[in-house]
Structure formats: structure tokens, C-alpha cells
A and B are shown apart, each in its own frame.
Chain A
């Protein structure tokens, strides 16, 4: 590939050379064509300049309607021969300038002035690591999104603003909880058991997340997708890099911007749970039948049965019972508001931007909410012509109330599982429990429990630049981040289901220090060559200190703080530290503005790795060819950019624990004579050789821009191969451990991405823009460890195997029994013995498990892949229309394919009805003939042909728990109105825009749970790849309706 690039580069060079020398001959050739029809010729000459009078070289001058064309020379001078028809029109065109047509007789001998074209894209620069590059000269796979792109959404997090907008970037909204960040993955999963999260670089400082950035402060977001772009971040670039640049002031008059919106949110949709009439009928059928199965006598009083087969006599007359939809009780219409004020300006001395904002989002779940304050000061000062110093200082504070909202035993779970017969005031310790169920009243739990997370963060990012000579920039940047997070939890006895009140508190401090020194050199090598050299060095240290404490023995439920806990149960402080030292360099070279080459390398050393393997080298090379600049396409006015990019690069991943190369002792205490005695045991199998996980990525891209950049297509195909994975390799438990971290295994990600942006209509009063993106990624495990071709994982409840990562398959498949309908009467002989393999205890109507290996028994050997959480493809569509003062826009996002594991089927969708409400489907479960008489009268409980009987055993987990997670979501619709300038002038206002927005308006999906992207029961942190896409009743997404105003002064 490199060879090919080199060849192209060389041949391109010679072609260009030839062209320059032989240009007159070309012109003559052109004349020859026309001379065939008309032999009378005239020589016309002139000069082309820009508005400042600078001569323009390379302007294409043609004759309208004819093939003939020439170019202006270095002095802007041109000469062309034309036929003597005076009506002939000359055309002048050059990239970056408005095309011009002029009658030949007017143009002859004149200086023609070209005006710069309005299309701003020309000047568009893209932020890459430690520098910028013009978009048209980009050689790597970098997508960018201007801050404008998500100023029109009612979003709390930057992640939500990106969702569906950048090809190759998958943003999953795993929960609808206010303030909760979505998950971002770039070009699939490179890693199996190390983290696959990207690196975030905010104003030059590498970080693990971007959750404290105010979306309104963002000027642009660049996503470095291929390793050639990300390699400049070396050991941490392997999962892609998200580069965030915050806004800064601009020279000119001081500008004041005010932005605000406010509105309300609602749950997207409620799930179809049973009402009281249905629930009581179902429970009667179920418990009668199960009692009957154990030999019970149905004619005896119900109260004489074992508790699990009893139900209250009142169920016989459901009309007299409460009929509560607990989703209605737990969820509400909730308010959301946001205010932001920005003051910016600048002059010769420098620029400044001050911004402050406040966001308050109540959750749609009662008593949940999020609040955030952001302050930012971005300034720089010029000290003479050779020095520039500056600082970006950002402070944020946020507060989140999140009492058990998501996942198993959460309030979201109970909102679904609480039977409708339970009264709103029932089910606390003081009010007593309904005979139906002992789940804690979720409304009371939300009201009385404390679960408050607070975070404050200060980021100070200061820099100094020195320009010893014009072509050199020396820059030193020092970053310091101090982040404090505290969490306080208290569960009063009243809502702790019999347990005493208990409290927990933690305090986490993160200190991050970084220093970067870079030197950039842009020599003047004449007009044909452009070179930029970067050399740099950096050091970073991150330290985390965690203090945690817990206690019980509270005298009452009144005060949640731990000083009232008479019995401390936990006191712990832990410290972790990591450091990275790096050296890096990059050369970007352009020849004739059409052959582009970029070479970079980074040498990283990390404290996380073993003594012999601390250092790694991460090189990259990329090249581009702007074909449209070639002479054979000079005439193609419709073409504004045709560029082919190729890149190859290597980047790493170091997302593991801080000390995995060291053998540590874990605590395993014992007690003797009633006293604690300390025990210390080997805590891990250390791997002193542990080192980077390495991703080599190859990318071929095409940028195809048409009609003055009005149509812009970017297409990329990539192939990423990650080797030496930081894999937790399972080892035999005979060793005393379950896994060892090794550099072993391979994963590949192959995919294509398309991003098409079109300006469909552009007139003075009406513009219409559309942006479409499409990404398809194929993920495949190529190898694990020797002798191990699959990693099988238990469900996160640690009960049964549910997931597998298998060589030849994508990471993290759902791995379970396959079913084939239900066991029918013909599957049993006259004595009731099964004629097909079953699990002990299974009966007619239970799910029929397929004996895949035909060994006559049902066990792990019959597990197979029944789905995978990774989608076939994802896409997004945004469109924006502006008509006079009105603007209208919408964003749609979709996922096709990919599955989700509905672990909620264990509780409120398993039919077992151990006092939990159920999906309506279970009314229509299979009814074996023996129990048909137990169906209460007056209710339709006929079998729907698929739902199994729950008397007997339906072995978990099987493919009936797996659902297609495809969806189409209307993310945003916005309608705005800009006041006319005339009116504003009178008010001395620069601009006013009023708008209404609808966010997350609807999600179209066949998934029966609340959110097809939910992941609240999957593995945390590094388990998220091997135990993905698992929903046990999640916080639903909310649709938001807001109105707002933007005003500038």
C-alpha cells in the first residue's frame, strides 16, 4: 500500500511537471479543435487578481460552450485564442473563488478580479492531535462536528449530541436517567477484556471522559477514527480519540450571547403489564395449577396451602381491589431548563471568552434529577509579536439524585413488577405489606431514600507560545485537573424491607497533571511545497484517592449522615496512580497542494506495564491525492474535491488496572475467639511482562465534493486488527485463581462508513441541508489464547452461562439454549415420560430445548450463539431547512440488527408470577389439559401459540430471552424563528431566535422492554464487551418538549 502511494506520488509529480512546461501546447491543441469549425482566430489576454490585487495563479479560463481552456501564470496573466465571434463569453474559475463569466470583449486586456467564494468549507480546518489541518488536505479518517450541530437539542451530555451524527461512532444511551452519560464506541470493539472506550482530549489534555464539559462551550468535536490519526496519541489511541475544542473569543466588538430553553419530559412509552382483573385471574390459574401439580387438593380452603400457592380470597372479586398502574405512579411529567450566558471578544492584545451556564433536569422518575453549573474562561494574551500566553479555566459542579433507578431490584424494575392490586400507600415497614407482594413501594423508596452524587471539577489548562522566527512555534502547555466526587447514600429502615437503616458515603479525588512541550516548524519551501514538522514531549500523572465508609445502627430514619450510624461497617482508603511519558513527532508534507503525505510516530512509556515492556513505539503514515487538481479534471467545474486517502498506523490500549504487573496480596480475614484476625492471601497472578494491546488500522477513504462543496460525500473503508490483547485468560481454578492477564489474542474490525452532506437548495431566502451517515462494522475474534477458543461468561447474576466470546465470532455473543416452540402432548408417552430430551422437571407446555449435540441430554453442550449485541449497521439522518426567518430541523437515528438480552424476563416477564406483575402475554401461556379447569371464568386466557406454560420448568437462559434491538429514533425536531434585522436594529440587538424543540420524540422498535439500547445488567467496566446488551428493567428514555430563545447583543 505504501508502495502504491509512493508510486502515485512520483507519477503525480512528473505529470505536474510536464503540464507546467507544456501548457502552451495544450492551449494550441484546444484551438485545433475549435479551428475545425472556425478558422478566424483572435488572441485575448488579461490578468486575474483577488480583491486585494494579488495575482492569482492557476485560474482556469475557458470559453463558454467549448472545450478550450487555459490557466493563468504566476503573475496572474493569461492568454487565450478564440474565434472572432464577439459574443463569446469567458469563464474564470478557481477553487475558493466565485466563478465569473465575462464577455470576451470586456475582458480583453483587463485585470479581472475574482471574489472569494462564500462556501466557508474552504477555510474549514480540522483539529488533529497537537495541530490542525485544512479539511481538504486531511489524510486520515477524521470526522468533525461543529458545536453548532447540537446547540438545537435539549441534551444534558455531549455524547447525546453526537449520537447518530458521525459515521463510525456508536453512541448508546444505556439509560434514560438524567445526567447519565451515554456510551461511545468508535469503529467497533478492539478489545475483549480491556476497555474499548475512546480517549478524550479536551483542549489538548488527555482525559477519560467528557462528562463535565458544557455542550454549549464546544466549538468543535473531532473524532480520530483510524490509527494513523490516533497514533499521535500512541498507547492510548487504539480505541479512537475524541478531540474537543472549546470556544474562544474573536477579535472585534464584545459580544454577549444568551441562550435558554425550558420545557417538560415524559416517558416514551409504558410497557404492557397486567391490570388487576388480568393479574388476579392469572395468579389464580397459576397457583391453583402449581398446587395441583404437587398433589394439592384444590377443594380445601386456600389458606391451608403452602404460602407460595396461596392467594387472597379477595382475588375472587377483583372489582373491589385497587387497580394501580405502577408505571403511572413512579413516572411523572418532569421539568427541564437550561440557561447559558457567554461574553466574548478580543483585539490586538488577545481574546477572551467567559461563559456560565446552568442546567436543571428533573427525572421522569419521581425524585430523580440532575443539576449542573459550568463556568469557563478561555483567554489568550499577545505579548509583543513573539509571545502568546493563555489559559483555559473551566469549573463545573453537578448534583445527581439517583436512588436505585436502574437494573435489578431498582425502582424501574419495581415500577413494572409491582402488582396492580398493591395500594399506593402500602408496602413500607410502617404501613405494612400487601398480601400480594413484599416488594418495597417504589414511590416510597424514591421519596425516602438518599442517593446523591456530587461532582466538582476544576480544569486549568495554561499555555505559552513563542515564535522565535515566523516559521517556528514553540509551545508549552501545563494542565491540571482536580476532580472531586462524593456520594452519599442512606436507606431508611422504612423502605429497607426488614433490614435496618444503613448508610454509605464515598469521596473520590482525582488529580491529573500533565505537561506538553511541542515545537512546530513550517518552513517556506516555495509555493510547490508545504511542510509542517512537529516534535513534542509530554508527561502525565494521574492519581486517585478514594475514601469510603458505611454503617448501620441508626437510631431512627431521620438523619442520613454516617455520624448517626452507631455501627461502622466499612472504613477504607485506597490510592492508585499511573504515569505516562511520551515523545512524539509528525511531518506533514504537501506537494503542489495535491499530493499529501503525513508521517507520525509516538514513543510512549507507561507505569502500568512490566519493567521490560514499559515502552512502545506507535508509527503511522497516511497519504492523500487530490485528483481534482489534476489537469484532466481542471475543467470539471462541478467537482470541487476528489481526494483519495490511504493510511496505515499503529496505536495502543493501556486501559487496565494500575498495578497488574505486580503480585499483590488481598485481604481475606478470619476471626478467632470472637476477634478479627488479619488474613492476607495472594490476590492475583501477576504478569510481569504485561504490555500494550496493539491496533494496526488500515483505511482507504474518498472525499468527493461537488458543485461548490454543496454535495460532500466522504466514504471510508477500514480494516483494524488488534493483537496482543490485554486479555483476561481464564485459567483452571485449580491454580487458585480464575484468570490471568496476558497479551494474547486477536480481534479484527472491518467496516465501511459513508457520510453525505448536501445543500439541496440554496437561494437567498431558502436553504435546505441534509446530512446522512451510515456505518457498518464487522467485528470478529481471530484468536484467544492457545487451547482456548471461547470465553464463556455467567450472567451478571452469576447463575447460569449466558455469554460467549468465540473465535470466528463477534466479541460478546449471547450463548444459550436454542428453543423450538413448546413441549406438546405428543412429546410425551402415555406414562408421561418425555420422548424428546428434556431437563429434569419439565412438563408439557414448557419450552422445548433443542438437543443440539444429540446426546440425549440437555446441558451446556447444547448452548449456542443465539444473538449478539453488535448491530449490522447504524445510521443517522439530519436535515435543516431555513426559509427567511424560519428554520426547521430534525435528526433521526437508527440501528439495524443487533440483539438485546432481556434479563427482565427473569422477574416480570417470566410468567412465574411469584407475586410480581407480568407482561400481558402470560395470560395466553400454554395450558396443559390437566390445569385447563383452573382458568377463571370470564377472562380470555387462550394460548397465543408461543408463550410457554410455567408449570414445570423453563430452563434459563434460552433464546426466548433474546430480542432484536433494531430501532429508529426521532431524536430531535426543532422549529425556530429569527427576528428580522431591521427590527433588531431598533432594539439594538444583534440577533434573536425563538425556537421549539421535541427531543427523543419516539423510538420505533419491536423490543418489548423500555429501551433497546438499555444496558443496566451487563458487565461493568471491562465486562461490558463480554457481557453486553443486558436489560433488567431500565430507566426509560424520556421525550422532551421545550421552547427557548437565543439572543445576541
Chain B
């Protein structure tokens, strides 16, 4: 019995060994599978081509956020958008938002992800293979332009930001506290100045649309203006205005036609092209109601559209060509309901009608040359009111294109009046270009609160049921960030 059992066990072991060896060919190497349809980061960032793709990826991030979350948020907050309509969908317009607001998070997350992309490039670009140092320098400057722009945007929207100047792990990031707003801007200034030195005057051919030296200078000037550093802004604006490649279009309407994309009016634009895979502009239809039907909008708009305020509409002179180009009063819906009162932004809808409503072809301007002109006028006025001086000329040039009479020192007798007139002109010129909220915020808490409270007190705008608090001048740090990053302190009041 005992012998036979031993034998049996030996037999078993032999047989098991044979059986298992059949399948032993399958071992560790079969577990080393690499993705067949995705690129692997490990061998990326080598050649100029790799860096170009990485850079375009950063631009791509700006295209996404500027096509919806950013402009929708900025216009909603400002006095350009009615606070009562569409109440469920737009807590930003009625100041009923909280730090958990998804659009605020969308803007925040987008800029940081672009910053991460630029950091990855800047960390490795010095070791990359470039045909010559000049190309490397230009690409480096372009990357710094994007990073500097993002820091400026984050800085004025949210306040002081942590300075993340190279790619870091999430753990490392959570050890870096918020710096002050001034420090944040200083970091942005360094990037933008480096860009202004490195970038070419213009980009042409298949590079059309990439950042130029003047784009960097214009953003830099805007930053200085926010800080009321008129001395610093002045030479930058003068440089831009001196460049012959940038001149206003003759017609205001031409500024928003896809056929005039990247023309001399535009200092820097985010690029949108219809008919390519997801490269179209989705903002245009997002501004009008879902059930609207018109020649410009054969497929209607979006459920989260923006109702324009009467306050903005009434701010235009009836002879101002910009009013009816920017705003449509009343509309007809798909079910033939006729509305003669509702105000809609149609500023970007005058060009080629796209086959698909979220695939509009028109670019969105970050800086137009009239913005540079009006910034320069502002700088001149702040440095000293000169009756009917150069500032007046600049202002009147913009007004003239809008079909308005020139203003003289008779109508604008002092510096404060000029300041107010200029800000009003900016509101009308740049309505729906995400600049109004910027212009309100930079006037300081007192004036900004006064503007917003006066607006919200209007029965049809806020009905008196909405009160403005100066804390809203800085957006809250998104709730999820406070939870995941102990180094981030919430802005006061939230």
C-alpha cells in the first residue's frame, strides 16, 4: 500500500510537470503589453516636431476654454448680461454661484492644464534637437507667452496663484502656497517680456495665428493697465501702434467675419476653423436660445444661452452701428413664437453659416488693435488730461468707425469724465469679447460695486432681489481645489 502510493505520487508529479510545461511558454514577456494605438510619453520631446506638437497642444487648451467657459463666465458676471432670465442655468449672472460652480472650475482647470503643458515643454526644450538656436529661442518664447498669458488670466480672475515654474508632481504642488497677486503678475511679466523679446513681428503662411511679439506686448500692456502702471504700459502700446502690420479695419463689422480672421485688426486671436475635427467655434451658438431659428442660426442655439441686458442695449446710441451688429432685439422661435424684446448677442454670427451649429469658423480675438488704441488713450489720460489731445483722437477714431460723432473737451471736460467715457466706449466696442468684467474689476472694489449694484437694482435686470458683494471681484478658488490642495487658501468671503 505504502509503496504503491509513493509511486502514484511520483507519477502524478511527473504528469503535472508535463501538463504545466505545455502552458509555460506563456510567461512574463506576455504581460509586457504596450499600447498599440496611443503614443507613449517616454520617448517624446526630442525633435522640433515633437515640441511643435506639444506647443499646439497648449494652444489647443486655450481654444477649448475660450470657446465656451471663459467668455460665458466673464459676460455673465458683468452688467452686459441680464440676471433674471435663464435663472436656473446661470448662477453666475445672478451671483448665486458658490465655490462649487462648474464653470469656474472649468476656467481654472483649463488654464492650469495649459500651464502644465508649457512647463513640460520648457523643462525639456533646452535638450531638444533644433536646427538652430533661433528656432529654439522662438519656440521657447512662444511657450512662455502662453504660460505668461495663463498666469495673468488666473491672477486677475482668482488673485495670487502658486508659482509652478516647472513640471511637478501633485505632491510637490500641494506644498506650494499661493503667492500674492503682485508676485503672480511679476511671474507673468517675466514670461511675457521674454516672449516679447524672442517672438517675431509677425507670423505668416501656415504659421498664421501663432503668437507674435506684439501679442506679447499687448497682453503685457493690459497687465500693466490692470495694475495702473501706466509708465510701463505706455512704451509697449506705442510699439504696437507704430507697427504698420496692425491697423484697424475700415468697418467695425469686418472685425467679426471669418473671412477677415487674422487680419490687421487682430493683434492676437484664438483660432477656430469649421470643417476640421472639433476645431470650430462653439461660442457663437451658445449665446442664443435653443429654440431660435434664423438664417444665421438654422439649427438654433444652446439651452445655456445668455440674455443681454437692457442696460447694455440702452448704452448704445441709436446711430451706433455696433449696436445692431452686436445685439439682436427679439427673435422668432422654431415654433413661430415671436419675441420682440429679448436681446441676444449675435456679434460673431455674421460670417459664413456653418453646417453644424457648434462648428463656426470665426476666430475669437484676445486683443484687437482698437483695444490697443483705447488702452493707449487711457494711459495718456491717466498720465495727464489734455483737452482734445492725442487721447481724444484715439477715442474719436474708434467712435468714428462706429458711426458716432467726435467728442471734444466740451463734452469731456476733465480727466474723470474722460475715464468714464472711455470705459463706456470700451463696453460698447468690446461687448461680448470678455473684456467688460475685466474693465469693471480693475476699477477697484468701490467703483465696481457701485456699477454692479446700480445695474442689479434695475427691475428688469436684477429686480432688486440680487445684491452684489465686493468679494465677487475675485472668483472663489474652486471647492474641489480647496479639498485637494491644502496649500490653497480660499479667497475672502467664500
- Tell me if chain B binds chain A: yes
Interface residues of chain A, those whose CB is within 8 Å of chain B, are: 293-295, 303-308, 310, 432-438, 468-469, 471-472, 474, 476, 497-500, 515-519, 521, 523, 533, 535-539, 541, 552-553, 567, 569-570, 573-581, 583, 605-607, 611, 614, 658-659, 662-666, 668-683, 685-686, 730-738, 740, 787-788, 790, 792, 794, 798-801, 832, 839-843, 858-860, 910, 912, 952-953, 955-956
Residues in A neighbouring B334, C-beta threshold 8 A? 433, 438, 497-498
CB distance from A732 to the nearest CB of B (A): 4
- Chain A to chain B contacts (Cβ below 8 Å), 8 pairs: A497-B334, A537-B19, A672-B56, A682-B120, A730-B484, A735-B170, A737-B113, A953-B87
Judge if B335 is at the interface, Cβ distance under 8 Å. yes
Give Cα A685–Cα B262 distance, bound, in whole angstroms.
36
Residues in B neighbouring A294, C-beta threshold 8 A? 84, 459-460, 463
| Contact between chains at B36 and A577 (CB < 8 Å) | yes
| Contact between chains at A500 and B356 (CB < 8 Å) | yes
Give Cα A304–Cα B357 distance, bound, in whole angstroms.
29
Given A306-B342, A569-B277, A734-B162 contact (CB < 8 Å): yes
Give Cα A676–Cα B16 distance, bound, in whole angstroms.
60
Residues in B neighbouring A686, C-beta threshold 8 A? 41
| Contact between chains at B56 and A670 (CB < 8 Å) | yes
Give Cα A569–Cα B41 distance, bound, in whole angstroms.
27
| Contact between chains at B467 and A840 (CB < 8 Å) | yes
| Contact between chains at B279 and A841 (CB < 8 Å) | no
Which of B57, B117, B299 has the most chain A CB atoms inside 10 A of its CB? B57
Judge if B80 is at the interface, Cβ distance under 8 Å. no
* In the A-B complex, the 10 residue pairs with the closest CB atoms: A736-B116, A679-B57, A539-B26, A307-B339, A433-B335, A681-B57, A679-B56, A732-B485, A668-B60, A859-B98
| Contact between chains at B112 and A679 (CB < 8 Å) | no
CB distance from A414 to the nearest CB of B (A): 15
Which of A304, A578, A674 has the most chain B CB atoms inside 10 A of its CB? A674
Stretch of B129-137, B203-211, B222-230 that contacts chain A = B203-211
CB distance from B419 to the nearest CB of A (A): 30
| Contact between chains at B44 and A438 (CB < 8 Å) | no
| Contact between chains at A734 and B481 (CB < 8 Å) | yes
Judge if B300 is at the interface, Cβ distance under 8 Å. yes
Q: Mark B458-469, 1 if CB is under 8 A from A, else 0.
A: 011001111100
Stretch of B101-109, B189-197, B232-240, B368-376 that contacts chain A = B101-109
Given A303-B338, A438-B333, A732-B174, A839-B96 contact (CB < 8 Å): yes
Closest to B203 in A: A672
Judge if B85 is at the interface, Cβ distance under 8 Å. yes
Judge if B425 is at the interface, Cβ distance under 8 Å. no
Closest to B115 in A: A736
Given A435-B335, A500-B355, A579-B31, A663-B60 contact (CB < 8 Å): no
Given A681-B57, A859-B100, A733-B337 contact (CB < 8 Å): no
Other-chain residue from A553, A671, A738, A790 in contact with B276 (beta carbon distance below 8 A):
A671
List B residues 439-492 near A (Cβ within 8 Å). 459-460, 463-467, 478-481, 483-486, 488
| Contact between chains at B335 and A474 (CB < 8 Å) | no
Given A733-B478, A736-B113, A293-B463 contact (CB < 8 Å): yes
Given A294-B460, A673-B207, A730-B483, A539-B23 contact (CB < 8 Å): yes
| Contact between chains at B54 and A681 (CB < 8 Å) | yes
Give Cα A605–Cα B30 distance, bound, in whole angstroms.
10
| 16 more CB-based (< 8 A) A-B contacts, given A476-B19, A515-B22, A578-B33 | A294-B460, A307-B339, A471-B8, A515-B26, A517-B22, A535-B16, A573-B37, A575-B37, A581-B28, A662-B34, A668-B60, A670-B279, A672-B208, A673-B207, A676-B273, A734-B481
Given A736-B115, A840-B94, A665-B41 contact (CB < 8 Å): yes
| Contact between chains at B42 and A669 (CB < 8 Å) | no
Other-chain residue from B41, B50, B272, B355 in contact with A682 (beta carbon distance below 8 A):
B41
Other-chain residue from A307, A474, A567 in contact with B333 (beta carbon distance below 8 A):
A307
Give Cα A800–Cα B98 distance, bound, in whole angstroms.
10
List B residues 323-366 near A (Cβ within 8 Å). 331, 333-342, 355-357
| Contact between chains at A432 and B38 (CB < 8 Å) | no
| Contact between chains at B273 and A674 (CB < 8 Å) | yes
Give Cα A676–Cα B274 distance, bound, in whole angstroms.
10
Given A310-B339, A738-B109, A800-B102 contact (CB < 8 Å): yes
Q: Mark B1-43, 1 if CB is under 8 A from A, else 0.
A: 0000100110110011001101110111011111111111110
| Contact between chains at A681 and B488 (CB < 8 Å) | no
Given A577-B33, A734-B112, A567-B275 contact (CB < 8 Å): yes
Residues in B neighbouring A498, C-beta threshold 8 A? 293, 298-300, 334, 357
Give Cα A732–Cα B486 distance, bound, in whole angstroms.
9
Other-chain residue from A567, A664, A787 in contact with B39 (beta carbon distance below 8 A):
A664
Which of B35, B115, B464 has the most chain A CB atoms inside 10 A of its CB? B35
Residues in B neighbouring A735, C-beta threshold 8 A? 112, 116, 168-170, 173
Give Cα A607–Cα B272 distance, bound, in whole angstroms.
41
Residues in A neighbouring B480, C-beta threshold 8 A? 730, 733, 792
Give Cα A396–Cα B339 distance, bound, in whole angstroms.
56
Residues in B neighbouring A910, C-beta threshold 8 A? 88
Judge if B53 is at the interface, Cβ distance under 8 Å. yes
| Contact between chains at B173 and A734 (CB < 8 Å) | yes
Given A310-B339, A733-B478, A860-B479, A614-B28 contact (CB < 8 Å): yes
Closest to B100 in A: A860
| Contact between chains at B102 and A468 (CB < 8 Å) | no
Give Cα A790–Cα B482 distance, bound, in whole angstroms.
12
Residues in B neighbouring A533, C-beta threshold 8 A? 12
Judge if B385 is at the interface, Cβ distance under 8 Å. no
Which of B11, B41, B115 has the most chain A CB atoms inside 10 A of its CB? B41
Closest to B170 in A: A731
Judge if B63 is at the interface, Cβ distance under 8 Å. yes
CB distance from A580 to the nearest CB of B (A): 8
Residues in A neighbouring B100, C-beta threshold 8 A? 792, 800-801, 859-860
Other-chain residue from A468, A570, A738, A843 in contact with B15 (beta carbon distance below 8 A):
A468
Q: Mark B63-78, 1 if CB is under 8 A from A, else 0.
A: 1100000000000000
Judge if B128 is at the interface, Cβ distance under 8 Å. no
Give Cα A294–Cα B168 distance, bound, in whole angstroms.
51
CB distance from A1027 to the nearest CB of B (A): 14
CB distance from B461 to the nearest CB of A (A): 9
Judge if B431 is at the interface, Cβ distance under 8 Å. no
Other-chain residue from A303, A476, A731, A859 in contact with B99 (beta carbon distance below 8 A):
A859
Give Cα A681–Cα B143 distance, bound, in whole angstroms.
14
Judge if B406 is at the interface, Cβ distance under 8 Å. no
| Contact between chains at A669 and B16 (CB < 8 Å) | no
Judge if B212 is at the interface, Cβ distance under 8 Å. no
Judge if B148 is at the interface, Cβ distance under 8 Å. no
Give Cα A29–Cα B197 distance, bound, in whole angstroms.
110
Given A676-B279, A732-B170, A840-B94, A607-B113 contact (CB < 8 Å): no
Judge if B58 is at the interface, Cβ distance under 8 Å. yes
Given A671-B276, A681-B57, A740-B170, A310-B24 contact (CB < 8 Å): no
| Contact between chains at A307 and B115 (CB < 8 Å) | no
Residues in A neighbouring B478, C-beta threshold 8 A? 733
Other-chain residue from B209, B300, B339, B465 in contact with A306 (beta carbon distance below 8 A):
B339
Residues in B neighbouring A576, C-beta threshold 8 A? 35, 37
Residues in A neighbouring B112, C-beta threshold 8 A? 733-736
Residues in A neighbouring B84, C-beta threshold 8 A? 293-294, 841
Give Cα A471–Cα B11 distance, bound, in whole angstroms.
11
Give Cα A516–Cα B19 distance, bound, in whole angstroms.
10
Judge if B381 is at the interface, Cβ distance under 8 Å. no
Closest to A538 in B: B23
Judge if B263 is at the interface, Cβ distance under 8 Å. no
Judge if B403 is at the interface, Cβ distance under 8 Å. no
Give Cα A577–Cα B35 distance, bound, in whole angstroms.
8
Residues in B neighbouring A438, C-beta threshold 8 A? 290-291, 333-335
CB distance from B470 to the nearest CB of A (A): 15
List B residues 211-251 near A (Cβ within 8 Å). none
CB distance from A1012 to the nearest CB of B (A): 26
